[in-house]
A and B are shown apart, each in its own frame.
Chain A
Amino acid sequence: MSLKIALDEQSPLLTITLSGRLDSNTAPELDEVLNGVLTNTMITRLTFDLGQLVYLSSAGVRCFVRARKAIEPRGGNVVIVNPQPAVRKVLDIVKAIPPGGVFESVAELDAYLDHMQRKVREGT
């Protein structure tokens, strides 16, 4: 079982859907994709949809960390939706994504984003 990577770019939003296994063998594939995508500075929000990801090892976690390092300095952020329990467990252990950056579903993420936009609007 290998890794499948699907990109859905609606600038400045980018959603990467991963299915399969993200481990030390497949992580380089994701790194390569990310390298290409992250050169585009227009991206401010990178969403990893892990609904189909069944396995995640520390090598994969490192991909997420590298993505954060590339985006967060630009004021962007990285969020993860739909992690499977086994994947969620790994994410929880290594705390690669800050609290609030992991959503159980796309609906939860959308609700969060609506909330943030409302705050911004009210704040301005």
Chain B
Amino acid sequence: MSVTIRSRQVVGFRTVRGRMLFWILAVTMPIYAGALYMSYRATAQRLEADAERDADDLAARLAAGLDAVIRPIEGGIRTVAHQLEEVDPPPVQYPQRIRGILAAWPEIYGSTVAVETRHGGANARPFAPYLYRQGAGVSYSDLARASYGYQDLPWYRRAADAGQPVWSLPYFDAGGGDIWMVTYSVPFFRKRADARRAIAGVVTADLDLNWVTARAAHVSLGPIGMGWLSSPPNPRSFVAPIGATTERLGRFAGSINEDAIRDFGEGMLQRKTTFELLPGGVTKAPTYLAARHLETLDWRLMLMVPRDELMSEARALLNRQLALGAIGLVGLIAAIMLVASGIAGPVRALAEAVGKAREGDFDLHLPEPRRRDEVGVLADALRRMRDSLQRHIDLRAASLAEQARLEHELAIAASIQQSMLPRREPGTAQLGTARIAAALRPARQVGGDLYDYFELRDGNLLFAVGDVSDKGIPAALFMARVSALLRELGGAGELPDRLLAGVNGRLADGNDAAMFVTVGCGVLDVHTGRIRYASAGHDPPLLRTLEGTVTQLTMETGPAIGIDAGVQYPLGEAFIAPGDTLVLFTDGVTEADAGDGSLFGLDRLSTVLRDAPEGEPHALVQGVVDAVAAHESAFHASDDLTVMAVGLSPSGVTARSEAGVPHWLIVPEASAAGLEQTQRCLRTILTARGVGPGRIGDAELIAEELLTNLTRAAQGQAGGIQVSLACALPPGEIALTVRDNGPAFDPLALPTPQLDGAIADREVGGLGILLVRQLADSCRYARIDGLNVLDVRLNRVTDSHGVPTNVTQDCP
């Protein structure tokens, strides 16, 4: 027995472990990867938000820093302008005021009060004293020079036209201090008589933006990123790097296009977005840009954060999660392996335990200890199966032992049954002058066929063949009863008809098993060759003559024995000559099956008997058994088979067949009994061949006269003479030939005795030869090879007293 565990699923999964690993990892890995991705995304978004908030915070701080400087200056300048309106001092005092401004705010590089002339009065003439820092001191110049039409310049015009304070865009003062500056212009007015306000001039303050640069550089920028404070493009912009930007820029030397960044930032402000990834080409590495608009001076804050740096935290977190995940994965795999091994190991152990089981050895060593899970259930099931198998095997062993015992008993029964048969060794039995052979082949160990024969007290032979209706042990038991009854009643000298009636009477009474037996039974008169025969439902026997013809004895048959009590059986009669053989058989012969339904049949049986070289009983029986066996070939015998052959072989008689003509040679004993023996034999032969009693008497008479003559003649011979009588039956004739080795003597040459004379004159002698010549159709004498040969022939005409006594029917 071999156990084959074969997966019908995906090829490649030879183990539970593999399948569990595959499927669990197939499910968990995407989830894990998704979780990692979500976590990374969340972290990245948080970092981006942080960066934005940092930008907002930075913008706020910068704005506060700028406002702290700018707002007081704005207030101061506006106060000056207000004072100029209220007080309206003469222009000569303007420089004094300007000095006050410069003194108040060190961030102011220079300042002027420019007088409006277009709407002024008579005293209105261009005047714009400009005081500015030079070195440690303050220099003066009047902007109202012809070459400097200040009233048309933007710093004046925009404020004058707007009628309110305006900031200029930062500009690079290339002519003055070579510095970036921005100008705050505040108009002031004069009240006119019509109560309308008329522009009187503009107060300006030029702020040196170096402080902005310094202040931006001092703003803390945080650990990453670079930022700039810049003015709106004009077209050049003032740019102040924030915090450590300048140093950090060094790392990106040559790889940053600041103008492009600024342009993109301006685009963002227009799109009102605050945080974007710079497009490719602007920077080499992906970089975020945060853009803020400061209300103060309409300035911008650009904060650039390389994504790698911003996301380093996220990456670090990702790496930590990956590491943790890897550890978790290893643990998961280990757990799967452990669980799978916990299942597969015991299952494999169970499979091996079952696989080791061999025929007859189901002592499975199932693994212990018992488990409570499905593997445990399987082990329990196997254990129960093992126990069940073991019980089954034990039962089977007991059953086999019982069977062996039964077979032993059956063998003994078969031996006993065989011992009921009269002769166990093959061959022909000689019982007196009868010769008999039989074979019984049971289909099983014991059978329901039977045969028996034994010598009766008068020397005759009783023989019987039977076939019980069933097979096996019941048939054998019934057969034993039949055998015993045949012996008992047959031994008492009953003739076959009464014998069968007696057996039937005993068996039919109380035959609850409703078994029956067909029996063919006969008594052979060994002196005359007469067979008296009765049949109880049995197949009629076949008669094979010396010359090789086979005929079936068609006799009336009675019912099978065991069915009805009180049945009579008809008695039939037949005669056999020496060399003839009566063959009895059971239906195991005729109904022997070749396996394809073709039965052996009566035709084959007749052919076997006809083709036999001689009628020797054992040879015929063996021939039939062999032919049946050959017919059945490989097919098992389904029925018991019995064949019996009965012949007659008187001493001193030999029989042979020559060209279909039977010949018998009788060598009589050299005594008075020899004549009687010879005549009896002759009578047997001729009766069996259907010769009428008159012709038989003639033949007997001829034999006597010839043999008596010779006996008388022998009395004068020393050592006697040897005589033989041959009888042959050519068609229509009876040929009797007497041979003797006495002196040459032709009895036919003797004179015919005188029959008409007086009795006193008559010779008492020669009458025998006279009788022979008168009875025979022809007589011839010859001396051949030292023998006297007298050949006498009679025709076979059946006289009025002769009717055929053999009631036979030619077999097909």
User: What is A's interface to B at a CB cutoff of 8 Å?
Assistant: 23-25, 54-55, 57-59, 61-62, 65-66, 68-69, 72-73, 85-86, 89-90, 93-96
On whether the beta carbons of A58 and B759 are closer than 8 Å, the reply is: no
How far does the alpha carbon of A72 sit from the alpha carbon of B761 in the complex, in Å? 12
Q: Is chain A's interface secondary structure helix, strand, loop, or mixed overall?
A: helix
Q: Are A58 and B768 in contact (CB under 8 A)?
A: yes
Q: Looking at B701, B759, B775, which has the most chain A CB atoms within 10 Å of its CB?
A: B759
- On whether the beta carbons of A62 and B767 are closer than 8 Å, the reply is yes
B774 at the A/B interface (Cβ < 8 Å)? yes
Q: How far is the CA of A66 from the CA of B762 in the complex (A)?
A: 10
| Chain A: minimal CB distance from B161 (Å) | 190
Query: Known contacts being A24-B675, A69-B760, is A58 close to B694, with CB within 8 Å?
Result: no
Q: Does B513 contact A (CB under 8 A)?
A: no
Are A58 and B705 touching (Cβ within 8 A)?
A: yes
- Other than the given A59-B704, A66-B764, A93-B774, 19 more pairs (CB < 8 A) read A24-B675, A24-B704, A24-B708, A25-B672, A57-B701, A57-B768, A58-B705, A58-B708, A62-B765, A65-B764, A68-B759, A73-B760, A85-B801, A86-B693, A86-B698, A93-B770, A93-B775, A94-B767, A95-B756
For the complex, give the distance between the alpha carbons of A93 and B759 in Å.
16
Q: Which residues of A contact B784 (CB under 8 A)?
A: none
Give 23 CB contacts A-B under 8 Å.
A23-B675, A23-B704, A24-B704, A24-B708, A24-B711, A25-B672, A25-B676, A54-B697, A57-B704, A58-B708, A58-B767, A61-B767, A62-B764, A62-B765, A65-B759, A65-B764, A66-B764, A69-B759, A73-B760, A86-B693, A90-B771, A93-B770, A94-B771
Q: Which residues of A contact B672 (CB under 8 A)?
A: 25
- Verify A58–B697 contact, CB threshold 8 A: no
Interface centre among A58, A90, A93 (most CB of B within 10 A): A58
Q: Which residue of A lies closest to B758 (CB)?
A: A72
With the chains together, A69 CA to B755 CA distance in Å? 14
Nearest A-chain residue to B799, judged by Cβ: A85
Q: Is B700 an interface residue (CB 8 A)?
A: yes
**Contact B705 A57, beta carbon cutoff 8 Å:** yes
Contact of A25 among B675, B697, B767 (CB under 8 A): B675
Residue of B698, B700, B764, B775 most packed against chain A (CB within 10 A):
B764
A residues near B700, Cβ cutoff 8 Å: 55
A23 to B764, CA, bound (A): 15
- Give a binary string over B677-706; 1 marks a CB under 8 Å from any A CB, 0 the rest: 000000000000000011001101100110
Q: Name the residue of chain B whose CB is nearest to the CB of A67.
A: B759
What is the CB-to-nearest-CB distance from A29 to chain B, in angstroms, rounded to a whole number? Answer: 12
CB-CB under 8 A from B676, the residues of chain A are 25
Q: By the criterion CB–CB under 8 Å, are A93 and B771 in contact? A: yes
Number of chain B interface residues as a range: 20 to 34
For B755, what are the chain A residues with a Cβ–Cβ distance below 8 Å? 94-95
CB-CB under 8 A for A65 and B762, given A58-B767, A86-B697: yes
Docked pose: A9 CA to B746 CA in angstroms? 44
Q: How many A-B residue pairs have CB under 8 A?
A: 64
Give Cα A60 to B801, complex, Å.
23
SS class, residues of chain B in contact with chain A: helix
> Which A residues are CB-close (under 8 A) to B698?
86
- 10 closest Cβ contacts across the A-B interface? A58-B767, A58-B768, A86-B697, A95-B755, A93-B774, A24-B708, A57-B704, A68-B759, A94-B767, A62-B764
Pair A86/B694 contact, Cβ less than 8 Å: yes
Chain A: which residue is nearest B762 at the CB level?
Answer: A65
Shortest CB distance B3–A (Å): 90
What residue in chain B is nearest A70 (Cβ atoms)? B759
- Is B760 in contact with A72, judged by CB distance below 8 angstroms? yes
> Which residue of chain B has its CB nearest to the CB of A25?
B672
On chain B, the residues within 8 Å of A58 by CB distance are: 704-705, 708, 767-768, 770-771
Please give me the residue from chain B that is nearest to A90 by CB atom.
B771
Residues of B within 8 A of A89 (CB): 775
Hey, which chain A residues are within 8 Å of B711, CB to CB? 24
Q: How far is the CA of A58 from the CA of B708 in the complex (A)?
A: 10
Q: In angstroms, how far is the closest chain A Cβ from the Cβ of B229?
A: 172
The distance in angstroms between the C-alpha atoms of A95 and B675, with both chains bound, is 25
- Residues from chain B with a CB closer than 8 A to the CB of A61 are 767
Bound CA–CA A99/B640 (angstroms): 69
In the complex, A58→B672 CA distance in Å?
A: 16
Given that A23-B675, A25-B672 are contacting pairs, would A55 and B697 also be in contact in the complex, using a CB cutoff of 8 Å? yes
User: A24 CA to B756 CA in the complex, in Å?
Assistant: 24
* CA distance in complex: A73, B760 (Å): 8
Q: Is there contact, CB below 8 Å, between B762 and A90?
A: no
With the chains together, A93 CA to B711 CA distance in Å? Answer: 23
Q: How far, in whole Å, are A85 and B765 apart by their CA atoms in the complex?
A: 23
A54 and chain B: residue at smallest CB distance: B697
Bound CA span A94–B675, Å = 22
Q: Which residues of A contact B705 (CB under 8 A)?
A: 57-58
**Residue numbers in B under 8 Å from A85 (CB-CB):** 694, 801
Residues of chain A with a CB closer than 8 A to B675's CB: 23-25
CA distance A73 to B676 in the complex (A): 36
Cβ proximity bits B734-776 to A, threshold 8 Å, 1 near / 0 not: 0000000000000000000001100110101101101100110
- State whether A90 touches B701 (Cβ < 8 A): yes
A96 vs B763: C-alpha distance in the bound complex, in angstroms?
11
Residues in A neighbouring B693, C-beta threshold 8 A: 86
In this complex, what residue of B is CB-closest to A98? B759
A89 to B672, CA, bound (A): 25
Whether the Cβ atoms of B708 and A57 lie closer than 8 Å is: yes
B701 contacts A59, CB within 8 Å?
no
Minimum CB–CB distance for A87 against chain B, Å: 9
Q: What B residues does A96 contact at CB under 8 A?
A: 767
Query: Which residues from chain A contact B701 at a C-beta distance below 8 Å?
Result: 55, 57, 90
Bound Cα distance from A14 to B602, whole angstroms:
63
* Closest CB in chain A relative to B527 CB, distance in Å: 10
Contacts of A62 in B (CB 8 A): 764-765, 767
User: Complex Cα distance A96/B754, Å?
Assistant: 11
- Scan residues 81-131 of chain B and give those whose CB is less than 8 A from a CB of chain A: none
Taken together as a complex, chains A and B put the C-alpha atoms of A57 and B771 apart, in Å, by 9
A66-B763 Cα distance, complex, nearest whole Å: 10
Bound complex: CA A43 to CA B764 (Å): 22
Q: From B698, B767, B771, name the one whose CB has the most chain A CB atoms within 10 angstroms.
A: B767
* Nearest-CB residue, chain A, relative to B765: A62
- Nearest B residue to A63 via CB reads B764
Let me know if A72 and B767 touch, CB within 8 A.
Answer: no
CB < 8 Å neighbour of A59 from B708, B774, B801 = B708
Docked Cα-Cα span, A24 to B706, in Å, equals: 11
CA distance A81 to B418 in the complex (A): 60
Residues in B with CB closer than 8 Å to A86 are 693-694, 697-698
Q: Mark B148-165, 1 if CB is under 8 A from A, else 0.
A: 000000000000000000
